[in-house]
Each structure stands twice: as C-alpha cells, then as structure tokens.
Amino acid sequence: MANKTAVQATINGEDVEFLCEPHQSLLEVLRDVLRLTGTKEGCNNGNCGACNVILDGVLVNSCLVLGVEAQGKRITTIEGIAPPHGLHPLQQKFLEHAALQCGICTPGFIISAKALLDHKPHPSEHEVRHWLAGNLCRCTGYDKIVRAVLDAADVMAVEVSK
C-alpha cells in the first residue's frame, strides 16, 4: 500500500487537511476521504463533467486532477456555492425551469455554469451551449438547462447592478 501524503487546501472557504494516496484523484478524495458526495462520477475519465469543480478559479474535471495537486489550492464544489439559508441563482433557476430530471448531472452543470458566468456574465445561447458541451446530460435534451443558465445570468446581472 502506498504511503499517504498530507495535503492542505481550502475547500468551499474552509481550510482542510487530508491524507491521500498518490494515485487518488481529487474526485476520490472529495467523495471518499472528505465525504463531499455532491460531486458525482459518471465516467472517471474526463468525458462527462459530472465531477466538475472550480480549482483556483479554473473549471476542472476532478477525476483528472490528483488529490495531491490540490495542495495550497482553493476548491469550490457544489456544496459550497449557496449562501447560508438560501440558494445560488443558478440553483434557483435550475429548479424554476425544471432543468433537472434525475439530477445526477446537475451539480456538474451548475458548477460549470458558475465558472462560465464568473468569466462571462452575459453569454449568448451559443456560448452557453459551447461552454457546457463538456457536461453530459442524458435526461433533459439540454433545452431547460440552457434556459436556466441564461435566466440566471439575467438575474445575477440585475443583482450586480443594484
């Protein structure tokens, strides 16, 4: 059995320290070591986006990042984007638009969409589709997901201008 490495990172605003084996992915660490199971596994090889998290401001497939690479990094997962006692506008709009059916892809989509809106607050429909092309959903046909993201962008723009 491989030796474990101690890793310090900031996850959802909290400083955490965890032990992980060198081969373990960040996804495994989040789900099995830290028990943050909101981040999902659909393929474990970078093809579905269900495991997406934001790492130092960059959207990544956590199944393609090693746990040890998280050393000193800031990580945002689906568990960390809502304000206390509330929902992030993307979460709210996903609910209002019925943009989830089974919901297994939803954390990944919301995280990806957040990364998009962080960079580009007013995306076009095409830009949303292009950005979200790394996230697979088998249930919805994407229609309501794209609408929810566009609507959330509008709401967030209004909030910013207030």
Q: Which residues bind ligand FES (CB under 6 A)?
A: 41-44, 46-51, 61, 63, 100-105, 137-140
- Give SS3 for 148: helix
Residue 35 interacting partner from ligand FES, another protein, none (CB closer than 5 to 8 Å by kind)? another protein
For residues 25-44, which are near another protein according to CB under 8 A? Answer: 28, 31-32, 35-44
- Going by C-alpha positions, the residue among 110, 125, 121, 115 that lies closest to residue 161 is 121
User: Closest approach of Cβ 66 to another protein, in Å?
Assistant: 14
Cα torsion at 109, 28, 73, 110 (round to 10°)? 10
Report helix, strand or coil for 97.
Answer: coil
CA distance 136 to 157: 27
Binding site for another protein (CB under 8 A): 1, 21, 23, 28, 31-32, 35-48, 50, 77-79, 82, 87, 90-91, 94-98, 100-107, 110, 125, 128-130, 132-147
